[in-house]
Structure 1
Amino acid sequence: MTSPDLPRPPAQDAPLRRFDISGAEIDEVVRVFYGKIRQHPVLGPVFGAHVTDWPEHEEKIARFWRNAILREKCYNGNPMRVHVSRSDIKAEHFPLWLDLFHSVLKAELPTQTAQSWGALADRIGEGFRTGVTAMRQPKDAPPKLF
């Protein structure tokens, strides 16, 4: 865990990154987050129904975030399709996921880094929530906007 108030040296190795964070910090946030997911009364059973190898899942999600933040081009997948195809994943799960994710970010990262990653997670989470809602509607139904 790093101090939220100490400035960090600028990263020289990845000039295209969205904000200053290391791959090791991403890995640690993902590890801590999924430890909390497994204990969550609502989200734990949903994830547990689909994740059979937690270290493999955590590695895959860390690659997703490395791709999104560090632009490493190390993730290949379609997370929207995965979320939509699992009927037990509900739109109301995403705010719970985001609240838990934000709490981990705040505990594990400097304030500015946690805020930057949290804003990105909010956009992605809202996209998934909207996608899950829209893709599961009857074809001729009017759109649900909330």
Structure 2
Amino acid sequence: MASLPPKFDVTRNDIARVVAAFYEMVRQHPGLGPVFAVHVEDWPGHEAKIVDFWANAILHERSYDGNPLKVHRDAGNVRPGMFEAWLALFDMTLKRELSETQAAAWSALAHRIGRSLRAGVVEKVKGPGGVPILR
């Protein structure tokens, strides 16, 4: 069985570089840093898992085993409004680490995934009367 070509031109090393740079900025972010700090004790292990996630999504590798929607929904401190900050920081990282074409392609994929995760969190986070809490 022939393997699928990458969705766009990046390597696993590019992915690892982006993930490392992104999480370095996340740890310093006043809104996102504390959210991640509650859940991530082993940063190298977390980053390796996220590299596997993106390698699966972009390169069609089968090294990732997880359920990002469940993780985000079950975290307890992830709110729908956080995805905007997450994506802005991720876009900034992509622009710093990759070519314009690579960054645009990866950003489009990240925004699609982010919309899906946000929708899943909105579905879980509801106020009185079942009204979604969007922030």
The answer to whether the superposition gives a TM-score over 0.5 is yes
Q: Is the 8 A contact 2:80 2:133 kept in 1?
A: no
The answer for the alignment partner of 2:84 in structure 1 is 95
Instruction: State which of 45, 64, 68 in structure 2 corresponds to 1:75.
Output: 64
The answer to whether 1:63 aligns with 2:52 is yes
Matches of 1:95 and 1:145 in 2, distance apart?
11
The answer for the alignment partner of 1:110 in structure 2 is 99
Between Structure 1 and Structure 2, how many residues are aligned? 132
The answer for the alignment partner of 1:40 in structure 2 is 29
Q: Is the 8 A contact 2:87 2:114 kept in 1?
A: yes
- Relative to its length, the structure with more helix (as a share) is 2
The answer for the alignment partner of 1:17 in structure 2 is 6
- How high is the TM-score relative to the length of structure 2? 0.91
Q: Is the 8 A contact 2:56 2:64 kept in 1?
A: yes
**One-letter amino acid of the structure 1 residue matched with residue 126 of structure 2:** Q
Displacement, 1:89?
A: 0.6
Question: Considering only aligned residues, what root-mean-square deviation do their CA atoms show, in Å?
Answer: 1.9
The answer for the alignment partner of 1:6 in structure 2 is none
The answer for the alignment partner of 1:50 in structure 2 is 39
Q: Is the 8 A contact 2:80 2:134 kept in 1?
A: no
The answer to whether 1:123 aligns with 2:112 is yes
Displacement, 1:86?
A: 1.2
Runs in 1 of length 4+ with deviation above 3 angstroms?
140-146
SS of structure 2 residue aligned to 1:20: coil
1:64-105 Cα shifts (integer Å, max 9, x gaps) = 000000000110100100000011111011000000000000
Matches of 1:75 and 1:47 in 2, distance apart?
20
Displacement, 1:111?
A: 0.4
- How high is the TM-score relative to the length of structure 1? 0.84
Displacement, 1:22?
A: 0.6
The answer to whether 1:26 aligns with 2:15 is yes
The answer for the alignment partner of 2:124 in structure 1 is 135
Matches of 1:49 and 1:93 in 2, distance apart?
15
The answer for the alignment partner of 1:8 in structure 2 is none
Q: Is the 8 A contact 2:80 2:122 kept in 1?
A: yes
